[in-house]
A and B are shown apart, each in its own frame.
Chain A
Amino acid sequence: MKKIKSPEELKKIKAEARERIYGKEKLRVRVHMGTSGLASGAKEIYDFIKSELEKRNIDADIIGTGDMGYSFAEPTIEVTRPGSDAVVFGNVDKIKADEIIEKFIKCGEYVDGILPVNYKSIY
């Protein structure tokens, strides 16, 4: 990594990173992998989704993050279909993950287990 020499360079990195994350119309999956998530099997779900999406020829960014705080519903994942708002699903096991891929990711059909955004964000 190159050292950031000025606030302008930081801005440049920010713009590039935002472009990488949000710039393209691409499926994005975030798997919440803090201690609570991992303890409930989030790593397995991460690996499962990664390999299954590859197998089913679906191009996606898969990102491991910290927990959102929904300990009662771990593991949780967030799925953003191109051009749509993010949707968070709770209690995701492999069967649920498969259903999410087949119904929601492929067809945009909702499945049970959605955790709506119940907070205000500062962004």
Chain B
Amino acid sequence: MPREKMQILVCGGTSCTGSQGDAIIENLKLELEANALENDIRVVSTGCFGLCSMGPIVKIMPGDIIYTKVTADDAREIISEHIMKGRKVERLLYKDPSTKKTAATEKELIPQKKQIRIVLRNCGIIDPENIDDAIAHDGYEALARVLTTMKPQDVVKIIKDSGLRGRGGGGFPTGLKWEIASKNKADEKYVVCNADEGDPGAFMDRSVLEGDPHAVLEAMVICGYAIEAHHGLIYIRAEYPLAVARLKTAIKQAREYGLLGNDIMGTGFNFDIDIRYGAGAFVCGEETALIHSMEGLRGEPTVKPPFPAESGFRGKPTNVNNVETFACISPIILKGAEWFASIGSEKSKGTKVFALAGKINNVGLIEVPMGITLREVIFEIGGGIRKGKKFKAAQTGGPSGGCLTEKHLDTPIDFDNLTAAGSMMGSGGLIVMDEDDCMVSVAKFFLDFTVEESCGKCAPCRIGNKRLHELLEHITKGKGTLADLERLKNMSNVIKDTSLCGLGQSSPNPVLSTLVNFRDEYEAHVIAKKCPAGQCKDLMEYFIIAANCVGCTACARVCPVGAISGERKEPHVINPAICIKCGACMEKCKFDAIIIQ
């Protein structure tokens, strides 16, 4: 294979192209042509380099040289100096504002990148069906260290010192949870991995289990050693067939290597893991409901205390942690509590994986340090809002969380700040909404979900959420009144205060948070009977602007119910009594004559 040719990479991420990335590419190509180099040197547009704050970025290969804050006018100098003469353009290199040191290569700039992969460290790198691949990437090394050099209380201490908090939603300190479970003496104890990922739009646990199942298995054994348990159970929904298959393979291979089972690595410690399947009920993500479901009972929550750490699976002390929490354990053991605690914000340490979904350009998983702002997540890493629309809100915490708005864009994201903003961290789903989304409908969507998922055991959740949903339905149909908004608020608070488990205690959050942040939109629905976002069908009316209509009859021909009438070459009219608001006419009209009122 021939040696690498000289090539120019230009960042095509949204924030770089927004600041003239296309013009840079054009000028680079023109300059190459002017010097008759267009056949020798390629200019390639790439995805985001993750260096948005110093963009637009241009990278020259080979050599890995990164130029920052490049303008279209800089193209000439890059070609004439770097490409033709092999001299770096010093003024375009990144200078650290505090140390004044120059960083020329991409490797030197890595510390400037916003994402850190701890949980996702091996996803996309290792073959999940080959345990040797995992071992090659530090798999089971933390376990070896724990079993041979640490006492159980040392393990608990290092996890406590790291400041790791549960990634499943509540943010309870993991070390403390392990300590409580370790102090409860019993003849049998259990370690449970909660892989019942149920939030709409969230898929970080699935990706970890599919990409790096050994990370979870290893951490469960470590946890077992720390709390003196010998049985592990993974509760996973049957809707994740690939994750289940890869977990099964991983467990089989770990057993064959003696990394699960009796006398692990010759240390005398025994621990084995089994899989339990869930039927995909949202409430089973709640730990008491999850345990009942594993016992073969109905997946209904019970009152805490007793906490699972005292009396959990089969009445024995049980430690339940989420997939992402477990995936943090091995790096903490290997790199130390201080290392982990140095990442993140004051009270939320480490990183968090978010699943970006909705009206955002780069849909997918990201892993960022706690304390990053919503603006950085959405507009830099996420690539901004689709089709250049305006950002309206981001829902965190799924159906149990709330929405963050423009005023929260610069709030550091961590457990406590999100709670203070009326939302919650949840498991890490982040659904982005733009100007076309109606917030009343958004609240109704999440309520739809919780009404379906309520287990029905306690009345506030079973009946209350249904009533809330009916009220929202009323409002989106234009039948609501101002008093309904008060009713929504009061009922929400009663449901929160009186429900048995986390599902009911948090299900009204989307309603409350949209009521606070988008009160004007609710009022427009109940007073003016209008939906500002144009989403609520019952509140809109299609209307033809006579001045724009040329009478081409295209709309009348496409209308499925014959609601449009008019003579050829004369302005047409829509009969609102017949119109079903399907929008077909508006799509067909070439003259922008049809509008929504």
Chain A residues engaging chain B, CB cutoff 8 angstroms: 1-7, 9-10, 13-14, 16-18, 20-22, 30, 32, 34-36, 38, 63-73, 76, 78, 81-82, 84-85, 90, 105-123
- Choose among B2, B45, B259 the residue that contacts A4 (Cβ–Cβ < 8 A): B259
Residues of A within 8 A of B113 (CB): 117-120
Residues of B within 8 A of A119 (CB): 50, 113-117, 367
Inter-chain CA distance A72–B132, complex, in Å, is 30
Chain B residues engaging chain A, CB cutoff 8 angstroms: 1-5, 7, 9, 11, 42, 44-51, 59, 61, 64, 106, 110-111, 113-118, 120-121, 123-129, 132-133, 135-138, 140-141, 144-145, 147-148, 203, 206-207, 210-212, 240, 242-243, 246, 253, 256-259, 265-266, 331, 335, 361-367, 381, 383
Contact flag A121-B117 (CB < 8 Å), given A6-B265, A7-B265, A110-B9? yes
Q: Which residue of B lies closest to A70 (CB)?
A: B364
Residues of A within 8 A of B125 (CB): 30, 65
Inter-chain CA distance A123–B211, complex, in Å, is 17
- Choose among B145, B147, B212 the residue that contacts A66 (Cβ–Cβ < 8 A): B212
Are B365 and A69 closer than 8 Å at their CB atoms?
A: yes
A-B contacts, 17 listed (Cβ < 8 Å): A1-B253, A3-B257, A5-B265, A6-B265, A13-B135, A35-B240, A66-B246, A71-B365, A72-B364, A108-B2, A109-B42, A111-B44, A114-B9, A116-B11, A116-B46, A122-B116, A123-B138
Inter-chain CA distance A64–B242, complex, in Å, is 13
Are B144 and A112 closer than 8 Å at their CB atoms?
A: no
- Choose among B114, B124, B138, B256 the residue that contacts A65 (Cβ–Cβ < 8 A): B124
Are B364 and A65 closer than 8 Å at their CB atoms?
A: no
Min CB distance A35 to B, Å, is 5
- Choose among A67, A117, A122 the residue that contacts B50 (Cβ–Cβ < 8 A): A117
Are A114 and B42 closer than 8 Å at their CB atoms?
A: no
Contact flag A5-B144 (CB < 8 Å), given A34-B210, A66-B210, A122-B335? no
Inter-chain CA distance A16–B335, complex, in Å, is 23
Q: Which residue of B lies closest to A67 (CB)?
A: B207
Beyond contacts A114-B47, A118-B51, A120-B117: 19 other A-B pairs, Cβ-Cβ < 8 A, are A3-B256, A7-B265, A17-B133, A17-B135, A34-B206, A35-B210, A38-B242, A65-B123, A67-B210, A67-B365, A73-B364, A85-B64, A107-B1, A108-B5, A112-B44, A116-B46, A118-B114, A118-B381, A121-B117
Are B111 and A71 closer than 8 Å at their CB atoms?
A: no
| 8 pairs of A and B residues whose beta carbons are closest in the complex | A66-B211, A118-B50, A69-B365, A68-B124, A119-B115, A71-B364, A3-B258, A17-B136
Inter-chain CA distance A63–B367, complex, in Å, is 24
Q: Which residue of B lies closest to A35 (CB)?
A: B242
Interface centre among A76, A105, A107, A121 (most CB of B within 10 A): A121
Residues of A within 8 A of B120 (CB): 68-69
- Choose among A5, A117, A121 the residue that contacts B121 (Cβ–Cβ < 8 A): A121
Are A81 and B1 closer than 8 Å at their CB atoms?
A: yes
Are B49 and A116 closer than 8 Å at their CB atoms?
A: yes
Residues of A within 8 A of B9 (CB): 110, 114, 116
Are B47 and A110 closer than 8 Å at their CB atoms?
A: no
Are B5 and A109 closer than 8 Å at their CB atoms?
A: yes
Contact flag A17-B5 (CB < 8 Å), given A34-B211, A35-B210? no
Contact flag A110-B42 (CB < 8 Å), given A7-B148, A65-B125, A69-B123? yes
Q: Which residue of B lies closest to A18 (CB)?
A: B136
Are B124 and A108 closer than 8 Å at their CB atoms?
A: no
Inter-chain CA distance A18–B253, complex, in Å, is 18
Are B135 and A10 closer than 8 Å at their CB atoms?
A: yes
Are B364 and A118 closer than 8 Å at their CB atoms?
A: no
Residues of A within 8 A of B48 (CB): 115-116, 118
Residues of B within 8 A of A63 (CB): 127, 133
Min CB distance B59 to A, Å, is 8
Are B117 and A66 closer than 8 Å at their CB atoms?
A: no
Are B121 and A123 closer than 8 Å at their CB atoms?
A: yes
Residues of B within 8 A of A112 (CB): 44-46
Q: Which residue of B lies closest to A58 (CB)?
A: B1
Contact flag A10-B50 (CB < 8 Å), given A1-B257, A64-B127, A68-B123? no
Q: Which residue of A lies closest to B125 (CB)?
A: A65
Residues of A within 8 A of B365 (CB): 67-69, 71
Are B132 and A13 closer than 8 Å at their CB atoms?
A: yes
Q: Which residue of B lies closest to A108 (CB)?
A: B4
Are A115 and B7 closer than 8 Å at their CB atoms?
A: no
Are B1 and A106 closer than 8 Å at their CB atoms?
A: yes
Min CB distance B133 to A, Å, is 7
- Choose among A21, A82, A109, A116 the residue that contacts B7 (Cβ–Cβ < 8 A): A109
Are B258 and A115 closer than 8 Å at their CB atoms?
A: no
Contact flag A4-B257 (CB < 8 Å), given A81-B1, A121-B117? yes
Residues of A within 8 A of B124 (CB): 30, 32, 65-69, 76, 78
